[in-house]
Structure 1
Amino acid sequence: MKIAITGANGFVGSNLVKHFLSAGYEVKAIIRANAATTFIPSSAQIVRVDYDDVTSLLTAFTGVDIIIHNAGKTKANNAEQMFKANLGITEKIIAASNRIAESQQIIYLSSQAASRPSINNIPVKEDELGAPITIYGKSKLAAEEVIKQKCKKYYTIIRPCSVYGCGDKDFLQLFKIVDRGFSFQIGHKDKLLNMIYVSELCRFIELCVNNPSAYSQTFFATDGQVYKQSDIFSAIAKALNKHPITITVPESLAKIVFYAGDLYGHLFHKEVVVNKEKMKEILADAWLADISKAQNILGWQPIANLENNIKDTAKCYRALGWL
């Protein structure tokens, strides 16, 4: 079976390529013309495309059974860039796939951000109305709607929560902070969230591949556990053998830092992690998703092991020279 994975050079994409190659699939690693191939295994077929050109995508997807659409942006300088990356590329991929005569399944990696934060710590279900609080979340929800309305092939939408693991550069920033001897908490409330290790996410996606029960469905993907922000820092500290000083940052001060980061990004035209959009996510009381649908329909049985997974992630960062 042939699988095409868009955004195959990134954190999640490269891990997906490795996972499906090891599972015996023939993999097309779809990347931009100028993208690096550092993390893509040599046994994958690398295909460079222009995501703005339907003909380029049509050529890449011909003869493919499954398209795992992972390409997009999690941060951008403005809303136009975000929607172009997440909605625009999705529209082109759907248009290309619709022109292929053979049967295909499109698995779209959306985000928990397309939904909404939890209210009173009650996990959100997939059939609840999406109410994203960030531009990123709105762009992912818009892409979901395009798939539902225009896709003529089988489709499955997956909303992962926070994904961590080898190759991720967002969680790397937390590791660097702890490595310097600090951890922090914004506000006095230890907020709740879901997590999923990247290899677990790959396993979740494989459950949807060529699975009629997954067609026309939307699923949240988490490891089934609820974590406090302090749990994450504690696991990182243990992995790095550190005893960090915890600094509680008042929300008012945190907002100033996020606004400053946003200003820096706009002034220097850089995509920064610390910005007003990220502030909205972090200051939300909780990000909890209900995975009972995936458990019932897909037979999803998550294996949660935060401490070991964080330890392996730290080893990877060190091996890469990132820590």
Structure 2
Amino acid sequence: MKERVFITGASGFIGYHLVKQALGKGMEVHAAVRPTSDLEFLKKLAKDPKTGQPAALQIVNADFSSREKLKDLLEAGGYTYIIHAAGVTKEKTAAAYNLVNAEYSLNLAQAAMSADIPLKRFVFLSSLAAIGPISYSEQQPITESTLPGPVTDYGKSKLLAEQYLEDVSGLPLTIIRPTAVYGPGEKDLFVLFKTLSGGLDAYIGTKPQRLSFVYVKDLVAATLSALTENKKDVTVYNISDGNAYDRYALADRFKEISGKNVFRTHLPIILVKWLAGLLDIIYSFSSKTPVLNREKLKELTASNWNCSIDAARNNLHYQPQYDLRQGLAETLSWYKENKWL
């Protein structure tokens, strides 16, 4: 019998790739989505591309606001593993972030512990934002034991979720903290690629930065490896491609791959802060959140996001297969094939 995994946030960028690779490993996947989720990409996984037969994929709707409903859903599925990748990255208030990212995560974990299921591992997709950046002068990278100092409400909500889950007695928990994730289907960094494709390479201020990235396939490989951990203690892993990049690296790799010429400019930080504040005011009357806002600006202008992946290398046998250039080449190819660029 195939091992059954419950993956939340399955219709999202990372969730889709988790489902795809889990199916590729021969697992039976139950993909949890909202009733309003766009299932375009998930539906493409409904058939095995090699045999043409239905894949071991079932799409289910989950109500994360109800522990009882979650318990019933988990018991009906009899899951061996849970990967909790659902969450929000754009909200208007700290309370909205905390509700979805922290409270709903706690509901799922408590439901899992009260349900009659053969649960071996609960993997939570957190974020390096839960720890926050460090100063540029720091020579040592961010580690799993770095004192948390999140700079955004999003990061604080992810840290709160970690703390909630760590307090759930008996939960076989692994926390994965990825840095900036990119790859086929990603929409946030895509805005930057679209700007570069249009010939503009813009930066906020002139201060140097150390940045880190991880290609989605590497992140998913590390996450699926965590399922096989057999430890009673909570484990935590920072995930990147193992490199630290300067602030120009992403644009430089883009130019190398695309062959396009772009105009590089540096915008005064005071001007961008004013613009972010203005967008916050404008979007306060909308259900949507702007790509640039005062919260996001704190992460974009942070000086050092370099992190160590030694723990993941040692315990998960994580070996990144993509550096920024390799991952970006594959990503840009996907954007072109799907007519995003």
Same fold by TM-score greater than 0.5:
yes
The residue number in structure 2 matching 1:170 is 188
Which residue of 1 is the match for residue 108 of structure 2? Answer: 93
The 8 Å contact of residues 133 and 280 in structure 1, kept in 2 or not, is answered as yes
The list of structure 1 runs, each at least 4 consecutive aligned residues, that deviate by more than 4 angstroms after superposition, is none
Residues 208 and 214, structure 1, Cα contact 8 Å, conserved in 2? no
User: Does residue 69 of the first structure (1) align with residue 95 of the second (2)?
Assistant: no
Question: 1: CA distance between counterparts of 2:282 and 2:194?
Answer: 21
**Equivalent residue of 1:274, what SS?**
coil
Change (3 A) 1:180 1:159: same
Q: Do the aligned residues in 2 keep the contact of 1:31 with 1:48 (CA within 8 Å)?
A: yes
Q: Distance in 2 between matches of 1:134 and 1:210?
A: 32
- Give per-residue Cα distances to partners, 1:176-210, cap 9 Å, x unaligned: 10111111122112311110000000111122112
Q: Deviations over 1:288-313 (max 9, x none)?
A: 11211222222222223321211211
Q: Aligned partners of 2:151, 2:169: CA distance in 1, in Å?
A: 26
Aligned equivalents of 1:22, 1:203: Cα separation in 2? 11
Please name the residue that 2:161 is paired with.
143
**2:324 matches 1:322:** no
- State the Cα distance separating 1:268 from its structure 2 match: 2.2
Shift of 1:171: 0.8
**Is the partner of 2:284 in helix, strand or coil?**
helix
Q: Secondary structure at 2:31's aligned position in 1?
A: strand
Amino acid at match of 2:252: S
When the two structures are aligned, how many residues end up with a matched partner? 323
Q: Which runs of 5+ in 1 are unaligned?
A: none
- Residue in structure 2 matched with residue 306 of structure 1 by the alignment: 324
Shift in Å at residue 246 of structure 1? 0.4
Distance 2:255 2:64 in 1: 40
Give the counterpart of 2:33 among 14, 23, 31: 31
TM-score of the superposition, structure 2-length normalised?
Answer: 0.91
Q: What is the aligned partner in structure 1 of residue 283 from structure 2?
A: 265
Q: What is the CA-CA distance between 1:239 and the residue it aligns to?
A: 3.0
In structure 2, the residue matched to 1:10 is 12
User: What is the correspondence of 1:98-137 to structure 2 with a 5 Å cutoff?
Assistant: 98-104=113-119, 105-119=121-135, 120-121=137-138, 122-137=140-155
Q: Secondary structure at the match of 1:254?
A: helix
Name the TM-score, length of structure 1 as normaliser: 0.96
The one-letter code of the counterpart of 1:112 is L
Task: Please say if 1:160 is aligned against 2:178.
Answer: yes
> How far is the alpha carbon of 1:215 from its aligned partner?
4.9
- Residue 265 of structure 2 is matched in structure 1 by 247
Give the match for residue 51 of structure 1: 64
Write the distance in 2 (CA, Å) between the matches of 1:291 and 1:102.
Answer: 32
- Asked whether the 8 Å contact 1:156–1:214 carries over to 2, the reply is no
Distance verdict in 2 for CA 1:5–1:151, change over 3 Å: farther
Q: What is the CA–CA distance in structure 2 between the aligned matches of 1:272 and 1:32, rounded to whole Å?
A: 22
Whether contact under 8 Å (2:71, 2:111) holds in the other structure is yes
Structure 2 distance, partners of 1:267, 1:240, is 38
Give 1:214 shift. Answer: 8.4
Q: How far is 1:267 from its partner? A: 2.6
Q: Alpha-carbon deviation of 1:13?
A: 0.2
Contact 2:122 2:227 in 1 (8 A): no
Q: Which runs of 5+ in 2 are unaligned?
A: 47-54
SS at match of 2:264: strand
| Equivalent position amino acid for 2:38 in 1 | A
Same amino acid, percent of matched pairs: 32
* Distance in 2 separating the partners of 1:281 and 1:271: 16
Q: Displacement of 1:213 after TM fit?
A: 4.7
- Tell me the secondary structure at the aligned position of residue 151 of structure 2: coil
- 1:79 and 2:112 aligned: no
Match of 2:256 in 1: 238
In structure 1, C-alpha distance between the alignment counterparts of 2:265 and 2:161, rounded to whole Å: 38
